[in-house]
């Protein structure tokens, strides 16, 4: 065992772990936490189970070059594609959840604050508009009408095929500001914005806290969040986002088959995190966001993958890796993030190793991001942060050739 690592990380523990595929190099360190660097404000869109931008930045800067294609098959809020564009890489991404494109695409071609301000002024506020579902437990009556006015405006622009980058940015921000637990959201105090309460749950929350929805100025909140998102976007980063955003490929697709969008051998680096075992209920958590955007998932053949069955999860992951092997160029890499679940008793990287190897990849290294670690001969079983999915564990694969 030795300190330091061959890939340039500092203050790390490097060891080898024995697997059925042979000895696997393992790096354990404080690799991509917020204490090391501050990510760009453009990433500050709430989404359930998303990783921090420092994680893809770590792999993008080490395992790809300017102009390379960087991909995420479970792009969520779009962290990997946006970070790729900020680093002068071409962003690719898919997700079965249509909200992902709504969150990712506008940040690859952001408007100015002034453009958003002027567009908000143009949106008519119609006091007579009311939703087709009961949302009075979340919103004041005036706030509800303003939300409906913005929703109608955006829907009409899309139907008329007039939607532009400013409309898309406003849609993204409004979707993100629907519900939350601070004054910066349209709603009364509720669950965090990445986990919407049901109507019945919100009634109970209101009763428990003795609260009623108060008026919130929807346009002011949208503008305030826009300013916050764009505060780190200077002219250089704006031009970089727009230049590389033009080359982006984003789609609402199942990660197991992206052949309709992505050609063989085009991706240099994939950085992703798959759905965890029955931890995140994407459809339930996003029901209000889906409603705002007029999205009905009930008639879809495939919905976001959720299972508590390890056999089903392994089969799903194997099919994802088959597609990843198809689209990865020779010498390209896949950084596949998994977590410790069931109090550390089940380590998904062991199943990911199988899936990657069977698809044809070579296993290059296991990275474990841990803020507190000790040198131990059993690096594979690092026991810091025992509960939930507390440590980032990334299996790095490489396609030979």
- 300 or 80: which carries more pLDDT confidence? 80
Do 329 and 206 sit in the same domain of this protein? Answer: no
pLDDT beyond 80 at 316: yes
User: Is 103 a domain residue?
Assistant: no
Query: Residue 194 — pLDDT band, cuts 50, 70, 90?
Result: confident
Task: Answer whether 21's CB lies under 8 Å from 361's CB.
Answer: no
Task: Give the residue from 284, 335, 279, 271 showing the smallest Cα distance to 307.
Answer: 279
End-of-domain residue from the set 229, 256, 276? 229
Buried b (16+ CB within 10 A) or exposed e, 247-286: ebbbbbbbbbebeeebeeebbbbbbbbbbbbeebebeebb
> Mind listing the pLDDT tens digit for each residue in 162-188?
999 999 999 999 999 999 999 999 999
Do 142 and 89 sit in the same domain of this protein? Answer: no
Do 328 and 354 sit in the same domain of this protein? Answer: yes
Could you list the residue range(s) of the whole structural domain that residue 373 is in?
A: 2-98+240-284+303-398
Highest mean pLDDT among 8-22, 82-96, 126-140, 306-320: 82-96
Residue percentage of the chain with pLDDT more than 90: 64
pLDDT beyond 60 at 36: no
User: Is 294 a domain residue?
Assistant: no
pLDDT beyond 80 at 230: yes
> Mind listing the pLDDT tens digit for each residue in 114-158?
999 999 999 999 888 889 999 999 999 999 999 999 999 999 999
User: Is 295 a domain residue?
Assistant: no
End-of-domain residue from the set 184, 207, 229? 229
User: Is 108 a domain residue?
Assistant: no
- 274 or 343: which carries more pLDDT confidence? 274
Do 62 and 128 sit in the same domain of this protein? Answer: no
Task: Give the residue from 174, 167, 125 showing the smallest Cα distance to 146.
Answer: 125
């Amino acid at each position: 065992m030795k300190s330091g690592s061959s890939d340039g990380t500092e203050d790390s523990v490097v060891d080898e772990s024995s697997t059925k595929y042979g000895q696997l190099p393992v790096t354990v360190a404080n690799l991509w936490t917020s204490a090391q660097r501050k990510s760009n404000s453009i990433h500050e869109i709430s989404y359930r189970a998303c990783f921090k931008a420092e994680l893809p930045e770590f792999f993008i800067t080490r395992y790809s070059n300017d102009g390379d294609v960087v991909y995420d098959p479970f792009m969520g809020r779009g962290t990997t594609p946006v970070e790729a564009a900020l680093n002068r890489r071409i962003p690719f991404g898919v997700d079965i959840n249509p909200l992902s494109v709504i969150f990712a695409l506008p940040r690859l071609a952001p408007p100015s604050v002034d453009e958003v301000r002027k567009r908000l002024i143009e949106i008519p506020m119609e006091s007579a508009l009311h939703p087709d579902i009961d949302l009075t437990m979340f919103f004041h009556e005036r706030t509800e009408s303003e939300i409906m006015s913005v929703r109608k405006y955006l829907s009409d622009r899309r139907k008329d095929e007039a939607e532009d980058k400013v409309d898309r940015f406003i849609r993204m921000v409004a979707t993100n500001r629907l519900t939350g637990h601070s004054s910066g959201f349209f709603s009364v105090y509720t669950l965090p914005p990445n986990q919407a309460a049901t109507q019945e749950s919100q009634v109970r929350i209101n009763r428990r806290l003795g609260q009623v929805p108060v008026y919130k100025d929807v346009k002011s909140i949208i503008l305030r969040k826009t300013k916050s998102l764009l505060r780190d976007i200077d002219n250089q980063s704006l031009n970089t986002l727009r230049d590389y955003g033009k080359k982006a490929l984003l789609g609402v697709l199942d990660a197991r088959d992206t052949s309709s969008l992505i050609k063989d051998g085009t991706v240099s680096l994939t950085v992703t995190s798959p759905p965890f075992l029955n931890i995140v209920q994407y459809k339930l958590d996003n029901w209000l966001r889906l409603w705002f955007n007029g999205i009905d998932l009930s008639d879809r053949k495939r919905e976001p993958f959720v299972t508590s069955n390890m056999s089903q999860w392994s089969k799903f992951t194997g099919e994802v890796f088959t597609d990843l092997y198809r689209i990865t160029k020779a010498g390209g890499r896949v950084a596949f993030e998994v977590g410790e679940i069931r109090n550390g008793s089940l380590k998904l990287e062991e199943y990911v190793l199988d899936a990657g190897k069977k698809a044809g990849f070579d296993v290059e290294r296991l990275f474990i991001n841990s803020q507190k670690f000790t040198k131990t001969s059993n690096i594979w079983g690092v026991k810091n942060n025992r509960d939930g999915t507390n440590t980032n564990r990334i299996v790095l694969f490489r396609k030979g050739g």
